[in-house]
A and B are shown apart, each in its own frame.
Chain A
Amino acid sequence: MKAILVTFDQAHYNKVIDALQRSNCRGFTAWEHVLGQGSVSGEPHFGSHAWPSMASAIISIVEDHRVDEVLGKLRAIDLDRPKLGLRAFVWAIESAI
């Protein structure tokens, strides 16, 4: 099992959920409004007067073999709208109940 944390401009929300569903990843946890900025480029998402846009975050624990498929779909979304920003991070789950 792997955990995928996806952080993205909130405009992507529906697309990211859609990508997970299409890859047969049913479970996820989402934070609709989170703040943050990229390490290299892209506009900060602070929800402030200067940077009004907001980000969302979704974490989904998926089977190992689904990770590549999900990441592929997410990459496609990001490439389609590069200015909005979307990043995904994967790490291993040691145990679960």
Chain B
Amino acid sequence: MSLYSGAVKRPVMTTLCFVAVVIMGLFSLSTLPIDLIPDIETNTLMVMTSYPGASAQDIEQNVTRPLENTLNSVEHLKHITSQSRENISVITLEFEYGNDIDVITNDVRDKLDMVESSLPDDADNPIIFKFSTDMIPVILISAQASESMPGLYKILDENVANPLARVEGVGTVSVMGAPKREIHVYVDPDKLEAYSLTVEQISQVIGAENRNIPGGTFDMGSNTYSLRAQGEFDDVQEMAELVVANRGGSPIYLKDVAVIDDSVEERAQKTYTDGQQGAMIVVQKQSGANSVEISKAVAKMLPSLQKRLPSDVKLGIIVDTSDNIRNTIASLTETVLYALLFVVIVVFLFLGRWRATLIISITIPISLIASFIYLAITGNSLNIISLSALSISIGMVVDDAIVVLENVTTHIERGSDPKQAAVHGTNEVAISVVASTLTLIAVFFPLTLVSGMTGVLFRQLGWMVTIMMIISTVCALSLTPMLCSQLLRRNPNHGKIYKIFYTPIEKALDKFDDGYAGLVGWVTTHRWLTVIICLAIFVGSIFLMKGVGTEFFPTQDNSRLGITLETHIGTRTERTDSITLALYEEWKESYPEIKVFNYTTGQASSDNAWASLQDNGSHIVSMNITLVDPSDRKRGITEIAEQMREDLKRYPAFEKVQVNVGGSRNGSMGGQSIIDFEIYGYDFTQTDSVAANLKRVLQGIPGTADITVSRSDYQPEYQVVFDREKLRLYGLDLATAATYLRNRVNGATASRFREDGEEYDIKVMYSPEYRQEVEDIEKILIYNSAGQAVRLGDIAYVGPFDTPPTIERKDRERIITVSTVVQDRPMGDVVKDAQAEIDKMELPQGIAIQVAGSYEDQQDSFRDLLMLGVLIIILVYIVMAAQFESYTYPAIIMTSLMFAFSGIFIILFLTGHTLNIMSMIGAIMLIGIVVKNGIVLIDYITLNRERGMAVRTAVVNGCKSRLRPVVMTTLTTILGMVPMALGSGEGSEMWRPMGVAVIGGLTFSTILTLLFVPVLYCLFARNGIKRERRKHAKMLNAQKN
């Protein structure tokens, strides 16, 4: 018993089987997490080796190079980059996507064990550091404060950070921009000198006084008591009364030589939100936790946390990454629902029967819902890729059901009972339904085999569509016939409303059929003319291709801008602050689209993990700007970014400017494309001048913005160079002298002040006014062991120096990267112009320039996708050739692909979209969809010929009768894509090119296929007949002779 006769005979079982599938699917759906893109396993490892005291060059020679040479042999390595700077070497290993990072980590560890012995003795053991996307903060919370500012760190740490860290899935929570409390003992060097005291003595006294020491136990009467010497300060000001020395019989109190200042760290980052100072709380997730869930929980907690804070502290959300995820998924879900609605309307218009439409409407969701089971089993999420797969499939899953439904209807109209018709009708088309599914699987299954970044993204698309197609076929061969046998009627009675409504549609469709038949009649009599016109159109469209730009990923408007500004290296924080404030005032006025404006300036303290990973320094400003939702503003994010870049040109104080759409520069998806020009060469000065030259050249090319050179400037600093001979003469060594210097400028941590269970550093140092000039430094007194004093200026030279910057290497060669953001112009065009300019440049020997960045990713992915395209075309040909048992027919059908590609070029050209990964995926999908039309036509034409019709009659008749199914399936696919192509919700920039490409390609190719394929068929069939005739004539001649 076949599947369909079984299903028709056992309607209850069939129904319940599918109900079970739906229930499991819906249950899976309820458990699916939401995310933006499928989980991408990290492919990057970092190896950090510190070698204290070594210069950048030493590090490069003695640490980085031996490590690189050994690590280079690790399997699946794509690129090896390194940074050698003072004291540390950081090597970044980038691997091919899709490999098990744990296995690779072990390999790397083995290699490191091998090389460790050849590293310098003083170098520490290399540490492996796994970088992952989990480190990107999920949510940034701002805290604005005024009176509470001095104690803000403690307030936030206790009342916000700690409770938030207890939320499930939250990894670390760090507070940025709020300085920690610190107690400073600011000494006056002149007074110290007068009493011949030192900072060291004072800090020793403080350390010795601020103590609680247990004194053991003693027995008194019948009891035992413990004894303690209690000396810790209860109040900071107690310190002022400490006796630090005795001179001439009178005590010298600390207050005589120093001022006690209970305040905050001297150097700290400052965070401003909407112009008011405050702090930023960074929430990172645990590895594998779901961002949307976390942000939901955090947002829920905020009001209750707010209540615990002093009234002047206000919490707010700066960036919530899950906002974008939620909005994107919501707008894509809407797209899927619209697609579903459009498809149902088309089916109703063409079939004209509500019962048939009902059957189709029941079968579509089943295939879609079943795919959720796959997502849940494989641990995937509901993301852009899986929802796009749903949207794409809606138009295709109906096809199988429609073919079955149509044939069953024909049987019923001929007189069969619905039950018999369902079995026999399905039986007749079962093979072609399976074959057409196979063609689509031939297209989508190879997507699961793509490697690299593209592979990670499209593997899920491939699996989803393949699974949905298989389920829709099973559905078409079981559920659809069962529903037909139950729901369809032999002589449906149409009501009045139906007649009024549907008669004009019916008439229009009939006219359409007739008109098309006439046209096919005309083209089949003007065969060569048609062929020439069609080919001319194809060739013409290839020329249009030149006008279509290429890029990697479309830029997405996620309402986030990340801006990094750098003033001249070494600029004081106060100066940077005041310029930034001016910029803030201006932007707040000119960009009403800004919802939250947050910026951070200054040097991060080293114990803040998140902050110290970011670029920071007294001259660096990093901004997080959140705009209102895209639908609530007129200007797009790229337009705003462009305008901001223009504005920044009026602030020459900012020497380096980066305006990053989407928040960060490194995200390969969603942000603006970045082209990296890599300059390889050993010599510093030569490569520096090439980089400067290249930067100038790039500035002249339209479409470039934010050009940055990776090698930072020589950092100016003051160095204290001791004269060793003089040191010896005074009985000093370098370490002692340097410690004296450090204790006076940076401060000596004397002890810790304890209050309410928290500890705060007590630092003894020179008062700020005594450490502002080089002379102040030179005046520092250094005592030897005999108590004799000497001024630092007498034994050392203090002067300005430039330290060489970090040495960067890639693939074991020194490199400088000049990067540019691509703005308002396709990336391919910018690269072409830049390449032409680079070719004109005269490069010194041994220096080479290579293009990388998004461009390299794009080239890799395009190559992968082209290979995939060829593979898919071959597979589809094989499936069709097997189905038709012919080599010619599939070749005829394949010609419709030419027009699909023409259509893509034409529509991309007209709409101004670029050729990117998404439109390429659209093109690949088209291979499967377009040949389906050809299959339907050719199949019916051969059927007509087998029934004994002449070639032209068979063609005209076949085309006329297959017009409706072809137009209907095409329309369902196109209308399924329309919401994607026109969508204006958040994230729609991502899938719009795909929708546009499919619509353009499919429309154009369907129109031309409907004319070109019949003509080609006529030509080939005629040749076949002529050949037969010649053979026959030969045979007759042979018989005569």
| Contacts from A to B (Cβ < 8 Å) | 9-11, 13-14, 48-54, 80-84
A-B contacts, 16 of them at CB < 8 A, read A11-B411, A11-B415, A11-B416, A11-B420, A11-B421, A13-B420, A48-B946, A49-B943, A50-B943, A50-B946, A51-B947, A52-B428, A53-B424, A81-B415, A84-B414, A84-B415
Which of B420, B942, B947 sits near A10, CB closer than 8 Å?
Answer: B420
* Contact in complex: B416, A81 (CB < 8 Å): yes
Which of A14, A49, A51, A54 sits near B424, CB closer than 8 Å?
Answer: A54
A48 / chain B contacts, CB cutoff of 8 Å: 946
A80 / chain B contacts, CB cutoff of 8 Å: 415
B424 / chain A contacts, CB cutoff of 8 Å: 10-11, 53-54
A52 to B428, CA, bound (A): 6
Q: Which of B408-425 contact A (CB under 8 A)?
A: 411, 414-417, 420-421, 424
Give the Cβ gap from B432 to chain A, nearest Cβ, in Å. 9
Give the Cβ gap from B116 to chain A, nearest Cβ, in Å. 72
Q: Which residue of chain A is the closest to B946 with respect to CB atoms? A: A50
* Contact in complex: B946, A81 (CB < 8 Å): no
A83 / chain B contacts, CB cutoff of 8 Å: 414-415
* Contact in complex: B943, A82 (CB < 8 Å): no
A83 to B414, CA, bound (A): 6
A72 to B947, CA, bound (A): 33
Which of B416, B428, B946 sits near A84, CB closer than 8 Å?
Answer: B416
Assuming A11-B417, A11-B424, what are 14 further A-B pairs, CB within 8 angstroms?
Answer: A9-B416, A10-B420, A11-B411, A11-B421, A49-B942, A50-B946, A50-B947, A51-B947, A54-B424, A81-B414, A82-B415, A83-B414, A83-B415, A84-B416
Q: Which residue of chain A is the closest to B419 with respect to CB atoms? A: A14
Chain A at the B interface: mostly helix, strand, loop or mixed? loop
Q: Which residue of chain B is the closest to A54 with respect to CB atoms? A: B424
* Contact in complex: B946, A49 (CB < 8 Å): yes
Q: Which residue of chain B is the closest to A48 with respect to CB atoms? A: B946
B942 / chain A contacts, CB cutoff of 8 Å: 49
Convert B395-439 into 0s and 1s, putting 1 for each residue whose CB lies closer than 8 angstroms to a CB of A: 000000000000000010011110011001000100000000000
Give the Cβ gap from A45 to chain B, nearest Cβ, in Å. 11
A54 / chain B contacts, CB cutoff of 8 Å: 424
Q: Which residue of chain A is the closest to B432 with respect to CB atoms? A: A49
A82 / chain B contacts, CB cutoff of 8 Å: 415
B947 / chain A contacts, CB cutoff of 8 Å: 50-51
B946 / chain A contacts, CB cutoff of 8 Å: 48-50
B414 / chain A contacts, CB cutoff of 8 Å: 11, 81, 83-84
Q: Which residue of chain A is the closest to B407 with respect to CB atoms? A: A52
Q: Which of B890-948 contact A (CB under 8 A)?
A: 942-943, 946-947
A89 to B728, CA, bound (A): 133
Q: Which of B935-980 contact A (CB under 8 A)?
A: 942-943, 946-947
A84 / chain B contacts, CB cutoff of 8 Å: 414-416
A11 / chain B contacts, CB cutoff of 8 Å: 411, 414-417, 420-421, 424
A14 / chain B contacts, CB cutoff of 8 Å: 417, 420
A14 to B946, CA, bound (A): 31
Give the Cβ gap from B487 to chain A, nearest Cβ, in Å. 18
A9 to B428, CA, bound (A): 14
B428 / chain A contacts, CB cutoff of 8 Å: 52-53
A9 / chain B contacts, CB cutoff of 8 Å: 416
Give the Cβ gap from A52 to chain B, nearest Cβ, in Å. 4
Q: Which of B425-481 contact A (CB under 8 A)?
A: 428
Q: Which residue of chain A is the closest to B884 with respect to CB atoms? A: A49
Q: Which residue of chain A is the closest to B944 with respect to CB atoms? A: A50
Give the Cβ gap from A82 to chain B, nearest Cβ, in Å. 7
Give the Cβ gap from B1021 to chain A, nearest Cβ, in Å. 15
A83 to B943, CA, bound (A): 20
Q: Which residue of chain A is the closest to B939 with respect to CB atoms? A: A49
B411 / chain A contacts, CB cutoff of 8 Å: 11
Give the Cβ gap from B477 to chain A, nearest Cβ, in Å. 16
A10 to B423, CA, bound (A): 11
- Which of A11, A51, A54: most chain B Cβ within 10 A? A11
Q: Which residue of chain A is the closest to B431 with respect to CB atoms? A: A49
A80 to B417, CA, bound (A): 12
B416 / chain A contacts, CB cutoff of 8 Å: 9, 11, 81, 84
B420 / chain A contacts, CB cutoff of 8 Å: 10-11, 13-14
Going nearest first, the 5 A-B pairs with the smallest beta carbon separation are A81-B415, A50-B946, A11-B416, A52-B428, A11-B420
A51 / chain B contacts, CB cutoff of 8 Å: 947
A50 / chain B contacts, CB cutoff of 8 Å: 943, 946-947
Give the Cβ gap from B723 to chain A, nearest Cβ, in Å. 102
B415 / chain A contacts, CB cutoff of 8 Å: 11, 80-84
Q: Which residue of chain A is the closest to B412 with respect to CB atoms? A: A11
A10 / chain B contacts, CB cutoff of 8 Å: 420, 424
A49 to B435, CA, bound (A): 14
A86 to B382, CA, bound (A): 56
- Which of A49, A51, A53: most chain B Cβ within 10 A? A49
Q: Which residue of chain B is the closest to A77 with respect to CB atoms? A: B415
A14 to B414, CA, bound (A): 17
Give the Cβ gap from B292 to chain A, nearest Cβ, in Å. 52
A49 / chain B contacts, CB cutoff of 8 Å: 942-943, 946
A94 to B411, CA, bound (A): 40
A18 to B621, CA, bound (A): 90
Give the Cβ gap from B99 to chain A, nearest Cβ, in Å. 48
Q: Which residue of chain A is the closest to B943 with respect to CB atoms? A: A50
A13 to B416, CA, bound (A): 10
Give the Cβ gap from B779 to chain A, nearest Cβ, in Å. 104
A84 to B413, CA, bound (A): 10
A81 to B943, CA, bound (A): 25
A88 to B421, CA, bound (A): 22
B417 / chain A contacts, CB cutoff of 8 Å: 11, 14
Q: Which residue of chain A is the closest to B420 with respect to CB atoms? A: A11
Q: Which residue of chain A is the closest to B429 with respect to CB atoms? A: A52
A81 / chain B contacts, CB cutoff of 8 Å: 414-416
Q: Which residue of chain A is the closest to B411 with respect to CB atoms? A: A11
A10 to B428, CA, bound (A): 13
A82 to B428, CA, bound (A): 21
A68 to B414, CA, bound (A): 27
Give the Cβ gap from A46 to chain B, nearest Cβ, in Å. 10
Give the Cβ gap from A13 to chain B, nearest Cβ, in Å. 7
Give the Cβ gap from A69 to chain B, nearest Cβ, in Å. 23
Convert B262-302 into 0s and 1s, putting 1 for each residue whose CB lies closer than 8 angstroms to a CB of A: 00000000000000000000000000000000000000000
Q: Which residue of chain B is the closest to A81 with respect to CB atoms? A: B415
Give the Cβ gap from B491 to chain A, nearest Cβ, in Å. 11
A51 to B945, CA, bound (A): 11
Q: Which residue of chain A is the closest to B417 with respect to CB atoms? A: A11
- Which of B411, B421, B942: most chain A Cβ within 10 A? B411
A41 to B994, CA, bound (A): 52
A83 to B420, CA, bound (A): 15
A13 / chain B contacts, CB cutoff of 8 Å: 420
